[in-house]
Every structure is written in structure tokens, then in C-alpha cells.
């Protein structure tokens, strides 16, 4: 399988190169040259199979012969052995026609573990094969950093530096990074905002000398391997409630649209998904795009669901490319214009194509709080604020004919402040994570200054 850029100006590459590269040289995102698919019988055969078995089957369509089949199977088996629930992503019903898929049973209690656990093993294997090492610089607003540290700690070919905005993430989120004791992990509290951290990451990635010296790379959600890993749970959860013999719909709390696009992929590969409800918080650029056909950047507001406080949903470029019939010239034009002026007017035919699958819903802060309380009262379950955004969007679309699976993207205990402010109940950490409070923290403090951080990365990473 070859991978092409959404901007049409880069040579095609294989799966491994697309995974390690992140962005294509022309600034676009990699997508497969053709979409593989599963037959109805193949999907039906996923029923009752272990999660890692389905993951191996889905990944194999994209990896093909670049990684030996038995190695891929072993990676999937190890990646999901770190989850505390035997079914990896359990599904349960909360109301007639409404189901919750619990994506938070991994080591850092958020859905980012599902992809990151696999990505760490994929990249470690490939680096060892090519006798290379890498240094990951990670900018996190909370969940990505914890998932990345959990996945890469102790790996022999990777060093990781996790930057987070000092004082602006929850203590649970911070401890998932700072209590790692392995020598290949460093954490940096940056005296600034998440945007400062991200700007430092971007500057550093474009510094060729630094890139060469330490093998700098990133693990953000434009990485195609992460998206493939996320398509897997669309299959397993849909099959668990009766697909492919009946259609299903999904409600997906969204920020960078990685999960949303993974759902589109699963549908493109043959899973009978009738609708995907894209649920945003007050940062509703995606909801507005599907509603009015205009993708317009706004200011970023801080909410109870901080992992979705985003006003530029990177993976939307992949959907746009598909919806303009894979026209790379048009996609490049549109996203360059978005970079310059912050607006894309989606062509009517492309908007109609998007609406065949997606509907967008923006959920306010007060509706999120009410949903946290309402779900606790009706089902006895504490959910996290991101999941609450998904549940609220499902409630608004109660008329959908097919059963809806709501993706629950984090454990309530990862956001105890917001959950207890709304419900009066403080969620308890699951037993597996209790050690977070016993282990000492280890991190350095640096100014929000690219030169200072780059000097730190060099000192840590240079052999
Ligand atoms: C990252 C994240 C999201 C948003 O996912 P995208 O794939 O970026 O849309 C939602 N919920 C939680 C808890 C997250 O960590």
C-alpha cells in the first residue's frame, strides 16, 4: 500500500515512512492511495474475536508486507495487554438505542492510549530494524503527554521530552507524565500556555540541524498509524451490538477530528455506519462546518473538556480531500487559504458528500454540566466532561433510526475537578492508577523560549 499527500505535491511513500514522517513534505497529510475494504462476511467474523485479533486484521490491510504478519500480531497483542478490561473497549447500554464504548481502560485513562500503545511498538520495531534512534518532543494540553510517556517509557530507541503548560493541566494529568522513572523520559513545565508549547514544537521541528542531531519527531494526531488504530474500535463496538447485520451510528466528542476521521474510514472500509454525530464543546468549528458549510476559525475558549479546546481540526483536511474527490490542488488551495485568513467555504458538492455521514452539534458548558448530572441520576454512572459532550449530542439526535454508540474518551477520574463541580461526587481513580499519588514527581521548569528548550533537548538526547 502506498500513501499519497492530501496536497498532491509529494511522492508517494510506504506505511512505515508515512508513519515516521508525520506531515508530508508539501505540508499535506498522508492517506492511502486506495481504501482497502472488508466484506460483510469478514466483518461478521469479527464477532466474539479478541480485540487484538481484530486490530491485527485491520492494521494488516494498511501495513501489508512492510512488517511481518507475526510481528504485527505480537505488537497488537502486547499493546492491548496493558488494558485493564479484558475486552479492551467494553460497550454497555445506557438507554434504549444508546450505548457507551469505554475507550479509557489503558494506562493513562484516556482513549489516546489505544493508538499510542501500538504506535510506540511500531516505531520501536522499525527504528531497531533501521538502526536508528529518535527523540520525540511532545506538546500536550493534558492527555497526549500522559499517553505518550506511558507508551514510550523504557523503549530503547526512543527518548521523549513532554512539555506541558505549567499550572494549566490537572494534577492527575501531570502525574501521568512526571512520575515515570525511566531514564528515556524527561518532563518540562513551560512557563506559558499550551499554544506557547505548540509554537516551540513547530519551530523545533522545522530546525533541520536539531532534527539531524537528535532525530527529532512528533506523535500528534495527524499521524496516520494513530488513525488506523482508532478505526479498530469502530469495528469491534459496532459488531458487539449487531453490525454488520444492522446499521449503527456513532456520537464522537471531537477536537482534532482524529476520531471522527477514523469513523469515516471504518465506513469506507465496509462497516455499515449510517451517521456520525460530531460533538464539539464551545470550540465548535467542526459543528459549524457541517451545519453551514463554512469552516471558520474562532478564538479558543477554555472549557471543562480541555482536550477539545481546538479551533483548527487538523484531520479535517483528510475528509476535505476525500470530499472534493481527492483533488490535491483544491485541497492545497483551501488549507493554505485557511492558514492565511482562517476561512474555507466548502464547495456544495463536497458539503453534500460530508453530510452523507456527518452531522455537527456544539454543546455549551451548561449543557455539559447538566448532562454530567443527568447521566449520573439516570444511569448511576459518572462520566467525564468529554464523554458528556458526546452524550448531550446523542440526546439532541434521539430521532436517529439506528442504535448510537457514544465514544467515552476519558475516565471520569482524569477530570475530578470538573466532575465534582457539576455532580458533587469526586470520582475515584481505578486501582491500577492509584500508585500515581505515591510516586515522587520529577520535572524541570523552563521559560517559554524555543532556544532554551532546544538546548535542553540537545543536552538530553545527543549521544
Ligand atoms: C484528544 C481527546 C479528544 C479529542 O479527540 P480528537 O481525535 O482530537 O478529535 C476527546 N476527548 C479526550 C478525553 C481526548 O483526550
* pLDDT means over runs of 10, the chain (463 residues): 96 93 87 98 98 98 97 98 96 96 96 96 93 93 90 95 90 93 96 86 88 88 92 98 98 95 98 98 96 92 90 92 98 95 97 98 98 97 97 93 97 94 95 88 97 97 83
Ligand 1 neighbourhood includes 240 CB (under 6 angstroms):
no
- State residue 299's pLDDT score: 85
The CA distance from 99 to 92, in Å, is 5
Look up cell 451548561; give the residue: 366
Which residue owns the Cα nearest ligand 1 atom 11?
409
Ligand 1 neighbourhood includes 143 CB (under 6 angstroms):
yes
Q: 416 forms bridges with which residues in the sheet?
A: none
Ligand 1 mutation pick, 307, 316, 389, 407, max ligand atoms within 8 A of CB: 307
The CA distance from 29 to 162, in Å, is 23
- State residue 208's pLDDT score: 86
Ligand 1 neighbourhood includes 308 CB (under 6 angstroms):
yes
Distance 57 CA to ligand 1 centre (A): 25
The CA distance from 279 to 362, in Å, is 6
Distance 212 CA to ligand 1 centre (A): 31
- State residue 143's pLDDT score: 86
Atom of ligand 1 nearest to the CA of 104: 13
Please tell me the number of Cα atoms within 13 Å of 210 on its side-chain side. 24
- State residue 101's pLDDT score: 98
E strands present in 96-207: 98-102, 134-139, 158-165, 185-191
**Prior bond of 244 cis (ω within 30°):** yes
Which residue owns the Cα nearest ligand 1 atom 14?
307
Ligand 1 neighbourhood includes 256 CB (under 6 angstroms):
yes
Question: Nearest 5 degrees, angle CA 174-CA 178-CA 179?
Answer: 115
Atom of ligand 1 nearest to the CA of 384: 13
Ligand 1 neighbourhood includes 409 CB (under 6 angstroms):
yes
Instruction: Take residue 322 and report the three cell numbers written for it.
Output: 476525500
Ligand 1 neighbourhood includes 259 CB (under 6 angstroms):
yes
Q: Is 211 a catalytic residue?
A: no
- Cα Rg, the chain, nearest whole Å: 21
Read off the pTM: 0.95
Which is catalytic among the residues 49, 61, 112, 434?
112
Ligand 1 neighbourhood includes 145 CB (under 6 angstroms):
no
- State residue 288's pLDDT score: 96
Ligand 1 mutation pick, 107, 386, 418, max ligand atoms within 8 A of CB: 386
Ligand 1 neighbourhood includes 386 CB (under 6 angstroms):
yes
Atom of ligand 1 nearest to the CA of 255: 9
Ligand 1 neighbourhood includes 410 CB (under 6 angstroms):
yes
Distance 114 CA to ligand 1 centre (A): 12
Atom of ligand 1 nearest to the CA of 258: 7
Instruction: Take residue 461 and report the three cell numbers written for it.
Output: 538526547
Distant-in-sequence, close-in-space partners of 44: CB < 8 Å, separation ≥ 6: 239, 244, 245
Question: DSSP character for 204?
Answer: H
- State residue 278's pLDDT score: 98
Candidates 3.60.20.10, 3.40.50.1100, 1.10.510.10, 1.10.287.130; CATH matching 91-109+224-423: 3.40.50.1100
Amino acid at each position: 500500500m502506498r500513501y499519497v499527500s492530501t496536497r498532491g505535491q509529494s511522492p508517494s511513500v510506504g506505511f512505515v515512512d508515512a508513519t515516521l514522517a508525520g506531515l508530508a513534505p508539501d505540508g499535506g497529510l498522508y492517506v492511502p492511495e486506495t481504501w482497502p475494504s472488508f466484506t460483510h462476511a469478514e466483518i461478521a467474523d469479527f464477532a466474539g474475536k479478541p480485540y487484538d485479533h481484530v486490530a491485527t486484521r485491520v492494521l494488516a490491510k494498511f501495513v501489508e508486507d512492510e512488517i511481518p504478519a507475526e510481528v504485527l500480531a505480537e505488537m497488537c497483542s502486547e499493546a492491548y495487554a496493558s488494558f485493564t478490561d479484558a475486552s479492551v473497549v467494553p460497550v454497555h447500554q445506557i438507554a434504549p438505542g444508546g450505548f457507551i464504548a469505554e475507550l479509557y481502560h489503558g494506562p493513562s485513562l484516556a482513549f489516546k492510549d489505544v493508538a499510542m500503545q501500538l504506535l510506540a511498538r511500531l516505531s520501536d520495531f522499525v527504528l531497531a530494524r533501521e538502526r536508528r534512534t529518535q527523540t520525540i518532543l511532545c506538546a500536550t494540553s493534558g492527555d497526549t503527554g500522559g499517553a505518550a510517556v506511558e507508551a514510550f517509557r523504557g523503549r530503547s530507541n526512543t527518548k521523549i521530552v513532554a512539555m506541558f503548560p505549567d499550572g494549566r493541566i490537572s494534577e492527575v494529568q501531570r502525574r501521568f507524565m512526571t512520575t515515570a522513572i525511566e531514564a528515556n523520559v524527561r518532563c518540562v513545565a513551560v512557563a506559558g500556555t499550551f499554544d506557547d508549547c505548540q509554537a516551540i514544537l513547530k519551530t523545533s521541528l522545522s530546525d533541520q540541524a536539531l532534527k539531524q542531531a537528535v532525530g527529532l519527531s512528533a506523535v500528534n494526531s495527524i499521524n496516520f498509524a494513530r488513525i488506523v488504530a482508532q478505526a479498530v474500535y469502530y469495528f469491534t463496538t459496532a459488531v458487539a451490538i449487531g453490525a454488520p447485520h444492522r446499521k449503527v451510528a456513532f456520537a464522537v466528542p471531537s477536537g482534532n477530528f482524529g476520531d471522527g476521521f477514523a469513523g469515516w474510514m471504518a465506513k469506507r472500509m465496509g462497516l455499515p455506519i449510517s451517521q456520525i454525530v460530531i460533538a464539539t464543546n464551545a470550540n465548535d468549528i467542526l459543528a459549524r462546518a457541517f451545519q453551514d458549510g463554512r469552516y471558520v476559525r474562532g478564538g479558543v475558549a477554555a472549557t471543562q473538556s480541555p482536550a477539545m479546546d481546538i479551533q483548527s481540526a487538523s484531520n479535517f483536511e483528510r475528509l476535505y480531500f476525500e470530499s472534493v474527490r481527492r483533488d490535491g490542488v483544491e485541497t492545497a488551495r483551501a488549507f493554505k487559504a485557511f492558514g492565511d485568513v482562517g476561512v474555507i467555504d466548502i464547495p456544495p458538492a463536497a458539503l453534500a458528500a460530508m453530510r452523507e455521514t456527518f452531522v455537527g452539534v456544539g454543546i455549551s458548558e451548561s449543557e455539559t454540566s447538566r448532562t454530567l448530572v443527568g447521566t449520573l441520576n439516570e444511569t448511576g454512572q459518572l462520566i467525564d466532561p468529554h464523554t458528556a459532550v458526546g452524550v448531550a449530542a446523542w440526546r439532541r439526535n434521539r430521532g436517529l433510526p439506528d442504535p448510537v454508540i457514544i465514544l467515552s474518551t476519558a475516565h471520569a477520574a482524569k477530570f475530578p475537578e470538573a466532575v465534582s463541580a457539576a455532580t458533587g461526587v469526586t470520582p475515584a481513580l481505578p486501582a491500577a492508577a492509584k500508585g500515581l499519588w505515591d510516586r515522587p514527581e520529577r520535572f524541570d521548569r523552563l521559560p517559554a523560549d524555543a532556544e532554551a528548550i532546544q538546548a535542553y533537548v540537545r543536552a538530553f538526547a545527543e549521544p
